[in-house]
């Protein structure tokens, strides 16, 4: 396997050391091949939102598996899951199930180009929308972690149609639209960036983006692969009150099994074959096991107080980390929404990818290793958000903060930290 892994961030390239090979998970915990237990704040990059190996989810998968693994035909369960998604996100009038977030983003952009008859798309620096050629320009996630601004193998003729902008910069957005009158097919955005850390939109930013898209006939796509069903049942669009033209969803709607979806306005989605001329297909789309897993996961998330519980746990975690860092004189910027959170070793709030890159990566690397050694598993990259599940308890949060306090003390005492710009700024 290239780099010894099947996805780049898993290789620990940004934090050093050998990646941990996990054997099993249960609730809020993971166990590695040597039997060491970790409190897990990746939760399979978000979809294990009800906890690993939830008994009701396992039972749903086992029941579906007994009927067969894949048919290549329509099933009733696909329709049930689609209705659950549409009920939660009214902006989605029609949707198509696929097998991954990458496939969903790629397909949504193809449909948007067909709908508008235009070629250009606009994305934001540090946002990651999968590894399709046109989306690897200044991407987040593993590309940001490895310091890659693009990728060899992507033709210039493909990349030339991708425009990029700074997140939270309305003035630059206005300039880009003014310079590309009636040529931008779609804008795709993570409404909360989760692939360059956790970066919240500033007040008025998404509203200005929606207004520009409407004025220029550009399709607005919310990539809610990370935020959908995590920050709220209706995704971030339900919190900000903005109705995107299209929405992209990922693993969480399959409870962690390979699945994704793209959907939106009926007049746009009606272009997808066989209803329309835009071709997209997938043998494993709507896989019976993935759909059964997703239905049960969303049912559990529909229980009273599910999202209040997630938000309370996230708040206690990030405020606990912030307090522990302050006690030790370590600058830390934190934020959360629902079950999604993030932190940067930064004196100042992080508003875009450029701010994120100025954070103290040396301190993050040391923090990650110290936490890992004491049984706390955060993402092995400063450019990834973290996730809690309904299985995380207050005792887990308290234990995590206690370990973090000791890690912050060791960071504060390190010679590298005392020479860092972040330390000098905080000391001043």
Domain ranges of the chain: 2-53+308-390, 58-301
Q: What is the pLDDT of residue 150?
A: 59
Give the three-state DSSP class for 164.
strand
Cβ-proximal residues to 373 (8 Å cutoff; 6+ apart), any chain:
none
Residue pair 70/288 in contact (Cβ under 8 Å)? The answer is yes
Tokens found for residue 279: 């071709």
| Fold agreement (2-53+308-390, 58-301) | no
pLDDT tens digits, 268-284: 999 999 999 999 999 99
Tokens found for residue 393: 């308890």
pLDDT tens digits, 77-108: 999 999 999 999 999 999 999 999 999 999 99
Query: In 3D, which of 216, 42, 27 has the Cα closest to residue 120?
Result: 216
Q: What is the pLDDT of residue 309?
A: 97
Whether 222 has a pLDDT exceeding 50, the answer reads yes
pLDDT band, very low/low/confident/very high, at 10 (cuts 50, 70, 90): confident
Buried b (16+ CB within 10 A) or exposed e, 112-149: bbbbbebebbbbbbbbbbbbbbbbbbbbbbbbbbeeee
CA distance 96 to 269: 8
User: What value does the mean pLDDT take over residues 149-175?
Assistant: 83
Q: What is the DSSP letter of 315?
A: H
Architecture of domain 58-301: 3-Layer(aba) Sandwich (3.40)
Q: Does the CA dihedral 41-28-285-79 come out positive or negative?
A: negative
Query: In 3D, which of 167, 174, 218 has the Cα closest to residue 190?
Result: 167
Give the best-scoring range by mean pLDDT among 125-129, 150-154, 337-341: 337-341
pLDDT band, very low/low/confident/very high, at 417 (cuts 50, 70, 90): confident
Q: What is the pLDDT of residue 149?
A: 47
Averaged pLDDT score across all residues of the chain: 92
pLDDT band, very low/low/confident/very high, at 133 (cuts 50, 70, 90): low
Comparing 35-49, 349-363, 386-400, 409-423, the range with the smallest average pLDDT is: 409-423
pLDDT band, very low/low/confident/very high, at 148 (cuts 50, 70, 90): very low
3-state DSSP percent of the chain in helix, strand and coil, to 5: 40, 15, 40
Please state the φ and ψ torsions of residue 340, each to the nearest 5 degrees: -115, 135
Residues annotated as catalytic (active site), given as ranges: 128, 223, 251
Q: What is the pLDDT of residue 269?
A: 98
CATH number of 2-53+308-390: 3.90.1150.10
Q: What is the pLDDT of residue 161?
A: 87
CA 112 from centre of chain: 22
Residue with tokens 């835009």: 278
Comparing 212-221, 250-259, 292-301, 309-318, the range with the smallest average pLDDT is: 250-259
User: What value does the mean pLDDT take over residues 369-374?
Assistant: 97
Q: Is 51 left (phi over 0), alpha (psi -120 to 50) or beta?
A: left
Q: What is the DSSP letter of 133?
A: G
Residue pair 125/167 in contact (Cβ under 8 Å)? The answer is yes
Comparing 158-167, 330-339, 375-384, the range with the smallest average pLDDT is: 158-167
Q: What is the pLDDT of residue 403?
A: 98
Whether 45 has a pLDDT exceeding 70, the answer reads yes
Q: Which residue has the higher pLDDT, 425 or 145?
A: 425
Cβ-proximal residues to 39 (8 Å cutoff; 6+ apart), any chain:
28, 29, 375, 376, 377, 392, 396, 399, 400
Beta strands at 37-40 and 376-377: parallel, antiparallel or unpaired: parallel
pLDDT tens digits, 22-36: 999 999 999 999 999
CA 138 from centre of chain: 16
Comparing 9-23, 41-55, 60-74, the range with the smallest average pLDDT is: 9-23
CA 302 from centre of chain: 21
Whether 112 has a pLDDT exceeding 80, the answer reads yes
Q: Does the CA dihedral 274-298-226-379 come out positive or negative?
A: negative
pLDDT band, very low/low/confident/very high, at 312 (cuts 50, 70, 90): very high
Q: 0.75 exceeded by the pTM?
A: yes
CA distance 108 to 113: 9
Q: Which residue has the higher pLDDT, 418 or 337?
A: 337
């Amino acid at each position: 396997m290239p780099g010894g892994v099947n996805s780049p961030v898993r290789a620990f390239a940004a934090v050093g050391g050998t990646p941990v090979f996990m054997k099993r998970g249960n609730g809020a915990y993971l166990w590695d091949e040597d039997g060491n237990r970790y409190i897990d704040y990746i939760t399979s990059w978000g979809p294990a939102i009800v906890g690993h190996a939830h008994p009701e989810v396992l039972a749903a998968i086992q029941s579906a598996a007994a009927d067969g693994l894949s048919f290549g035909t329509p099933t009733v369960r696909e329709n049930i899951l689609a209705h659950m998604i549409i009920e939660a996100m009214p902006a989605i009038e029609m949707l198509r199930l696929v097998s991954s977030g990458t496939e969903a983003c790629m397909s949504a952009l193809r449909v948007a180009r067909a709908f508008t008859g235009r070629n250009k798309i606009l994305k934001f620096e540090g946002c990651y929308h999968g590894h399709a050629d046109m989306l690897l320009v200044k991407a987040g996630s593993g590309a940001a972690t490895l310091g890659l601004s693009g990728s060899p193998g992507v033709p210039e003729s493909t990349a030339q149609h991708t425009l990029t902008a700074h997140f939270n910069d309305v003035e630059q957005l206005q300039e880009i639209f003014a310079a590309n009158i009636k040529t931008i097919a779609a804008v795709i955005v993570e409404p909360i960036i989760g692939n360059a850390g956790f970066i919240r939109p500033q007040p008025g930013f998404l509203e200005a983006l929606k207004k520009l898209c409407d004025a220029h006939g550009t399709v607005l796509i919310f990539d809610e692969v990370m935020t959908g069903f995590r920050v709220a049942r209706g995704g971030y669009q339900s919190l900000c009150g903005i109705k995107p033209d299209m929405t992209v969803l990922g693993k969480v709607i399959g409870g962690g099994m390979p699945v994704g979806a793209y959907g939106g306005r009926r007049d746009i989605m009606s272009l997808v074959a066989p209803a329309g001329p835009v071709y997209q297909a997938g043998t494993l789309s709507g896989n019976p096991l993935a759909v059964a897993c997703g239905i049960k996961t969303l049912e559990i998330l529909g229980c009273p107080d599910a999202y209040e519980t997630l938000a309370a746990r996230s708040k206690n975690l990030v405020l606990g980390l912030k307090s522990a860092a302050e006690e030790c004189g370590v600058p830390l910027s934190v934020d959360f929404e629902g079950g999604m959170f993030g932190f940067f070793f930064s004196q100042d709030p992080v508003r875009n990818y450029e701010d994120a890159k100025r954070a103290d990566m040396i301190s993050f690397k040391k923090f990650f290793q110290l936490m890992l050694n004491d049984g706390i598993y955060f993402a092995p990259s400063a450019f990834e958000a973290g996730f809690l599940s309904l299985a995380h308890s207050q005792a887990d949060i308290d234990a995590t903060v206690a370990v973090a306090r000791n890690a912050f003390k060791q960071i504060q005492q390190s010679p590298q930290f005392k020479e860092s710009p972040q330390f000098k700024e905080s000391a001043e």
